[in-house]
């Protein structure tokens, strides 16, 4: 493609080192869509005749079909998907194909293809996150009355409903979806027409191309348009944070299905065995979700390091955006679907959860709140309950078995109605503030999310 300037062919080492078709081939559909739209603008400008445009469109569609069927031979020496398709087009139809690259550069061509790819990927990822959200909602709704200890520092803290715990991840995924939808606004910019860096003296109707490809607006600075990869970095950040959320969910599931917790049982279909220990049932999906979060975070860092020292405008370093982008999208999609499958088949061991949640120390804060409502300052009530806890541990007496007379030795504010506070069901019903885990609140939140997600199924 640049043989007019060079007297020697590229070395085999340069070709092997610089090729990207081994991974950017997946942009073929976007490249062909963009090329047909570009050809349409060339037709409007009078550079292509109608029969030439028809010939180009027909041949490109044939090439697309061959790629989809696995019949197309990509050539490494042609470097990338764009040149492979253009070379095949020109070989088939001759001069008309050679006109296609008029008023465009590979710089704005690859920027266009990548943006089109990202727009489609965002839609697919958004749908996959919705699938996992619905699986979590189903679990929450099927186990409405199940209580589980809530933890801080991995120590039992306060009782919550199992569904409330799962709804926390539904909220996280909701923010993940919002982030990607927000990024979509900045992906939705049509860069074609920016040329290599300064546009072209052949001015095509960029708005026409944008409308045909479904973009809402066109780029306003040609230098920025060909070198901008902010949107790729934003997608990688969004997927990195999604990976962190999936890792946290995976960690909870790993803990809960362990013998030490025994809160849930994972399906045989979503666990593996040991090559040595026949009794083992390993939560590999949940563990891999933790591990793959490292890849997602690493891909973001890789791109940011690539971008940080680049001068304007296009530099070949930008070729290094594709593999992190493709890998993060693939990894996130795979993780979301397999996690949704696993969550959907979780068996809740409600008796074990109930036994753990029956620990009266989980109600220590409720006792402190009780004293506050009796007029005791919170810091004083906190100290009272701390001393009461130490006494309970020393004597091996649960809060509920300590006589009222003994309780009054810790604070005269204690009265017989303390028994109501030591009821687990009562404690949960009392947590009725917005966002708290009362049964009524959890049911309302499930209904709210059902409404938000209902139109997606």
Residues designated as active site:
153, 274
* Contact (CB, 8 A) for 435 and 164: no
Distance CA 206, CA 40 (A): 11
Distance CA 417, CA 425 (A): 15
Q: Which two tokens stand for residue 383?
A: 């100290």
Distance CA 263, CA 148 (A): 8
Distance CA 286, CA 265 (A): 13
Contacts of 148 (CB under 8 A, 6+ apart): 159, 160, 161, 162, 165, 263, 353, 356, 357
The alpha carbon torsion through 53, 59, 64, 69 (nearest 10 deg) reads 160
Work out the burial of residue 282: count CB atoms within 10 Å of its CB; fewer than 13 is exposed, 13-18 middle, 19 or more buried. Answer: middle
Q: With helix as H, strand as E and coil as C, how does 331-394 read?
A: HHHHHHHHHHHHHHCCEECHHHHHHHHCCHHHHHHHHHHHHHHCCCCHHHHHHHHHHHHHHHHH
Backbone angles phi, psi at 117, to 5 degrees: -60, -45
Distance CA 330, CA 324 (A): 10
Question: Three-state SS for 116?
Answer: helix
CA distances to 372, 400, 401 from 422, rounded to whole Å, are 16, 7, 10
Instruction: Classify the C-alpha dihedral 303-308-310-313 as positive or negative.
Output: positive
Strand residue runs (E) in 5-154: 147-152
Could you give the maximum distance between any two Cα atoms of the chain, in Å? 101
Distance CA 139, CA 32 (A): 43
């Amino acid at each position: 493609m640049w043989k007019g300037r060079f007297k020697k062919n590229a070395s085999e080492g340069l070709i092997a080192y610089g090729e990207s078709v081994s991974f950017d081939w997946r942009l073929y559909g976007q490249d062909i869509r963009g090329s047909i739209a570009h050809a349409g603008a060339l037709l409007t400008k009078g550079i292509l005749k109608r029969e030439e445009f028809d010939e180009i469109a027909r041949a490109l569609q044939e090439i697309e079909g061959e790629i989809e069927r696995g019949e197309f031979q990509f050539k490494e020496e042609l470097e990338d998907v764009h040149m492979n398709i253009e070379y095949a087009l020109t070989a088939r139809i001759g001069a008309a194909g050679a006109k296609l690259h008029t008023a465009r550069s590979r710089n704005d061509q690859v920027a266009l293809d990548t943006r089109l790819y990202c727009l489609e990927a965002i839609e697919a990822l958004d749908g996959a996150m919705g699938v996992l959200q619905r699986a979590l909602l189903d679990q929450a709704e099927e186990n409405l009355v199940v209580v589980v200890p809530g933890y801080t520092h991995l120590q039992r803290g306060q009782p919550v409903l199992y569904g409330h715990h799962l709804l926390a991840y539904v909220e996280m995924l909701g923010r993940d979806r919002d982030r990607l939808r927000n990024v979509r606004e900045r992906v939705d910019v049509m860069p074609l027409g920016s040329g290599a860096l300064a546009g072209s003296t052949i001015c095509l109707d960029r708005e026409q191309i944008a409308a045909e490809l479904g973009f809402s607006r066109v780029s306003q600075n040609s230098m920025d348009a060909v070198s901008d990869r902010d949107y790729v970095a934003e997608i990688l950040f969004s997927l990195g944070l999604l990976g962190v959320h999936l890792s946290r969910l995976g960690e909870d599931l790993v803990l809960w299905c362990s013998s030490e917790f025994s809160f849930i049982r994972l399906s045989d279909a979503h666990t593996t065995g040991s090559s040595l220990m026949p009794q083992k049932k390993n939560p590999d999906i949940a563990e891999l979700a933790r591990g793959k979060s490292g890849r997602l975070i690493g891909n973001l860092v890789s791109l940011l390091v690539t971008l940080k020292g680049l001068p304007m405008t296009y530099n070949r370093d930008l070729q290094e955006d594709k593999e992190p982008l493709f890998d993060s999208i693939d990894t996130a999609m795979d993780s979301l679907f397999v996690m949704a499958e696993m969550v959907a088949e979780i068996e809740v061991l409600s008796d074990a959860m109930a036994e753990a949640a029956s620990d009266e120390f989980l109600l220590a804060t409720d006792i402190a709140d009780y004293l506050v409502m009796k007029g005791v300052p919170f810091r004083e009530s906190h100290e009272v309950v701390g001393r009461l806890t130490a006494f309970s541990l020393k004597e091996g007496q649960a809060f509920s078995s300590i006589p009222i007379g003994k309780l009054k030795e810790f604070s005269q504010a204690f009265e017989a109605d303390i028994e109501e506070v030591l009821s687990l069901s009562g404690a949960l019903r009392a947590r009725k503030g917005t966002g708290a885990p009362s049964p009524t609140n959890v049911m309302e939140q499930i209904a709210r999310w059902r409404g938000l997600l209902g139109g997606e199924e």
